[in-house]
Structure 1
Amino acid sequence: MDRQNERNHKEVFFPGQHLKFHELRERIRNVYLNRYQHIPRSPDPVEFHVSNLRHDTCYSSFQAIMRDGGFKKPGPEVTSAKSLVWWSLAVSEDDIAEAECRFLQYFKMIEDCKPFLRKFTSSPAFRKSSRMGNFRFTFSLRGLLANYKAQFCMGQEPQIRIYETVVYKQEVMYSIVVHGPAAQNDFGKYPLLQDSRANAVCLFQGENILWRPEGMSKTHAFRLVMGEEVLARRVLRRKRQFYAWDHVAVAFHVPQGKTFKFDHGTLRSHLSLCQGAELNLSNEEFIQCDFEALLTQ
C-alpha cells in the first residue's frame, strides 16, 4: 500500500509483516531491490545482536526533551495509534566484530583472519553520523523496556510486535512497536515479534534484538573472497552500483499527553553529539555547538 509520510515523501508499506528482499521484489517494482539479486559477493548470513538503541534528533527537539524530561510525539494532533517515539539500533564496533566471529564459525573458518565485515557495513544503519540531527540519546534496550514497563504497563510486560515493512526509494525499514496493555486495541492486530519465523529479519531475544540484514551497503565497494582465509577485495569504482539497504526501527507507544520520562541526570549521561549526514531528514540545519555548555544548561 502507498501513502505519504510526515515528511511528504512517498512510501510503500506492509503492516504486520517483515518482508525480505525477495518477497518485496515479488510485490513491488524497485530498481535498487532488483539490482540486489546481482550484488557483488558479500557476507551472508550475518546476524547482529544489538543491545542498545539510539534516538537522534535536532536542536529544537533536544531542547524539548530536556525541558519535558523525556520523550513524546510532538504536535497536538496525534492519534493514539500514531503516538510513537522512534529509535534506531545502535550497532557498535563490538557488535560488528561479534557478528564477524559468528559468520566465521558458521563456515568453520579460522577466526584470526584480518577483519573484513566492517568494510561491508557502510549504509546509514552503521554510520556514526545521523540524518536526523546532531543530538543522540543512546540507551540500553533493557533499560528502556524496564522504564517503559514501570511507566505504562501497570505491572505487566511490554508487548513487542511486528509493526511494518516500509520501502522508500533505496531504503527498507523494518519497524517494531512496543506498547502497554492500554493500547491493546490499537496494536493487538499486529503479530508478536517472538512469534515470527525462525529465519526472520529480526527477533527479540533476552536483552538483544537479533538483526539479519540483507543490504549492509548502499554502494558495494568490496566483494567477499573465501578460500583458506576470508578477504574483502575492492570493487573497481566504475563497476560499483547503488543497491537497497535495510535497517530496524523501534517505536515506543507513548499515549497522547504523556511523556516517556527520565530524570535530567540520566538524559545528560546518555547524550552525545554526532555529525550530521546527508540526506538531512530533519526540518532544521545541522549545527555546531559547545557540548559542555549544553550539558550545563
Structure 2
Amino acid sequence: MKTSENKSIVTGEHPFEGVCLNGFLVLFLDLLLIAASVALIFQTQLLGDWVIIVSIIGFLSSMLMWAGFMQLEPNEARAMVFFGKYKGTFKKTGYFWVNPFTAKKKLSLRARNLDVKPIKVNDKAGNPIMIGLVLVWRLKDTYKAMFEIDAQTMANSGVQPGAISGDQTVGNRMNAFENFVKIQSDAALRQVAGQYAYDDNEVAESQLTLRGGGEEINQQLVNELNNRLSMAGIEVCEARINYLAYAPEIAAVMLRRQQAAAVIAAREKIVEGAVSMVKMALEKIDNEGIAKFDKEAKVKMVSNLLVVLCADEAAQPIINTGD
C-alpha cells in the first residue's frame, strides 16, 4: 500500500490537467447568475419566500466563482495547488477559469539579469583579487522553484504590512529567487576563481588564467552555477566575469611588477632587434667590400652599434676627422 502511494507522489513539473474553461464564457454566465439572483428577490410575493434562499445561494455562488478567474501573459506560469497537493503548472496565455478552491501561485518565466558585486577571493597562487560577474537566469522548473526551496517564506519576509496584492506577491517571490541566485553565485564565483591564477606571471603560459581564460572560464561558471541552482529549478543562460583586479592592498605592488615585466619584454625585443641589425651591417660591409676590419675593430664596432641602438636617449656621435 505504501509503495503505491509513493509512486503517485509527483516530484517534478507537469502540465495542469484539471478543469479549465474559457474565462469570458464563465464571466458571462457569472454575470447572468448575479442578474438572475437579483431578479428573483423581486419575485418573492409571486413565488414565495423560498425564492430569497435560492437568490442568496445564487449570489454567493457567483461571488465564489470570481475566485476562479486568472489571466496569464507570455512567459508567465501558475503553480496549481489544490488543498496542499500540487496539481500541475498552467502556462497557457489568455483569460481562464479554474476551480476556485485551487490556489494559483503566479511565477515569471522571463529572463532576468543579476549583477554580482565584486568580492574578494584568493586565486590559485594565493593572491587576493577582486572579481565580479553578471549573469542571466530564469525559472525552468516551477515545481522545484516552489516546493524544493523555502521560496514562500523568503517571499513573505519581504512583504510590507498591507501589501497583499498579487503583483506584489509575485514580485517578492521572484526577489526571493534572485536572492537565492545571488548567494549561490557568490559561492560558485569563489570556487571557480580559486582554481586559477590571476595571470600567467604566477603559472606557466600554457595554463588557463582568469585574465586570459575568456570563454572557457565563463562556461565553467555557467556549469557550476547550473549545478548549484538545479535544485531550485533555476537555469543560468549566461555568466560572464565583468570585473577583475588585484585587491587594493597588493594592487600597487602588482602594478609595479607588471610594469617591470613589460619593460623587460620591451628590452628583450630591442636587444634582439639590435643584434640582428649589427649582424646585418657587418655582413653587408664584408660582402660589398666597403671596408676591412680586423677582429678588434669589429668588436669595437659591435659595441658602439649596440650602445647606440639600445640606448634610451638619442645617441650623440663623435666624428673622428683624423690627425
| TM-score of Structure 1 vs Structure 2, range by shorter chain | under 0.3
TM-score by length of 2: 0.23
TM-score by length of 1: 0.24
Instruction: Say which structure, 1 or 2, has more relative contact order (CA 8 Å, 6+ apart).
Output: 1
**Larger Cα-atom Rg:** 2
Structure having the larger proportion of residues in helix: 2
